Structure formats: structure tokens, C-alpha cells
Chains A and B, each alone.
Chain A
Amino acid sequence: GAVVSQHPSWVICKSGTSVKIECRSLDFQATTMFWYRQFPKQSLMLMATSNEGSKATYEQGVEKDKFLINHASLTLSTLTVTSAHPEDSSFYICSARGARGGGADTQYFGPGTRLTVL
């Protein structure tokens, strides 16, 4: 069964509004969670790494003031897209790192959130 959940699975919003996406690890504690985005026919691009209780580390070119990440507990991380614009439309996927048979280095991915900004 699913080990990482995301909510919502899809969202449509108007330009200028903010959208929050939740990522939960369901049956293990995730020391580290990651946020990726994926454009059509492209591979996953890492946006940021978040550790529980500390500030997220953003990849080069990712605006930290636009993509707010909060990792409040060992099972929950949230991504807030602030003042969303059409170019932010994408497939956002989170992952959680934890020991679950694949080793402590393995990342387990959520089902993704499709964001469409009108």
C-alpha cells in the first residue's frame, strides 16, 4: 500500500492565489523530505530538501519566498506556492527518506499533486 500520501491530488487556482500541498509519510518517520516538480515528458527536478525542525535547503534557481516549505513533524511536510502564476503549473511530487526495506537512503514518493494556475 501507499507509504507516502499527498493532498490534494489536483488543484486549480486563480493567478495570484496561494496553494498548500501536504505530504505525509504513513508508516515510518521521515527524517528528510524532498519536493520535486515534473513538467510533461520531463524527469523529476529537485526543488528543495527539508529536515524536520529546520529550514529547507533550496536548489539553485528555486525561489524560497515563492515556494515555502514547512517540515513540522517527522511525518508531515507542506509546500506552499505563494502568489501562483500560470508558469507554476506543474506536477509536484514529494518524497520521504526512511528505512522501509529499501534501506535508509531510499526515497519513497507520494502520488503527486497536479497544480493548474489559470
Chain B
Amino acid sequence: EDQVTQSPEALRLQEGESSSLNCSYTVSGLRGLFWYRQDPGKGPEFLFTLYSAGEEKEKERLKATLTKKESFLHITAPKPEDSATYLCAVQAVRGYALNFGKGTSLLVT
């Protein structure tokens, strides 16, 4: 059974304090790993898709990396507007459904 575990559950950072969010996964054949940002009361907003180990993607202050067992979302010099819940999801080769982790709630003050 596919599993996605995100840590930490919650993270509080000072503005400018860089950190990383972790997403550990097990899946029977990875098609892709996805990162989304979700603000309260809103739908998830697409950030990145990673397909193979060693791949990296960047967007503004965010950088996502992928290994065979986990993915990291690095946040460099975060700002208060980066506060949100960050969701990781895996997609198996057998289909297109996403299996989500429980998310990391990030607060930047």
C-alpha cells in the first residue's frame, strides 16, 4: 500500500530563517511526486512535479528535491506570505490518483 509521511507536522520560522520540509514515501512504481501549497479554506495550489531520483525544481524561495525514498522542500529566507500548509503527494504508475500526506503547516513570523 502506498504511504506518504510528512514531517514535521508543524513548523514555525522567523522571517529569513531557512529550513526544509520532509516527505517520505513508499509506492509501487513512482510515476511522480507532487508538492502543493494550501491556504486555509482554499484548494491546493500546484508547486512542483518530480519524476526521478536526483531531480530538482526551483521556484522563487522554494526548491524541491527527490530521492528514491523521500523528497525535501527547501525554503530559503522565508517571508510571512509563505505561511501555508505544504502537501506532498505521490502518483503511482498504475493510475493518476494522488495519495496525499497529512501536510506540514508552516508559519513564518
- A interface with B by C-beta (< 8 Å): 4, 6, 32, 34, 42-46, 49, 91, 93, 95, 97, 102-103, 105-112, 114
Contacts and interface: CB of A to CB of B under 8 A. Distances in A.
B44 A93 contact: yes
A110 B38 CA distance: 11
A99 B31 CA distance: 15
A78 B22 CA distance: 35
Nearest to B88: A43
Given A43-B102, A110-B43, 4 more contacts: A34-B98, A43-B103, A106-B34, A109-B45
B41 A114 contact: yes
Interface of B: 31-32, 34, 36, 41-46, 49, 51, 87, 91, 95-103
Contacts of A32: 96
Contacts of A105: 31-32, 49, 91, 96
Contacts of B32: 103, 105-106
Contact of A102 (B49, B101, B103): B49
The 6 lowest CB-CB distance pairs between A and B, nearest first, are A109-B43, A43-B100, A109-B44, A112-B43, A43-B102, A111-B43
A44 B87 contact: yes
25 contacts: A43-B87, A43-B101, A44-B44, A44-B87, A46-B98, A49-B95, A91-B41, A93-B43, A93-B44, A95-B98, A97-B96, A102-B46, A103-B51, A105-B32, A105-B49, A105-B91, A106-B49, A107-B34, A107-B46, A107-B98, A109-B36, A111-B43, A112-B42, A112-B43, A114-B41
Nearest to A110: B43
Nearest to A10: B41
Contact of A34 (B42, B97, B101): B97
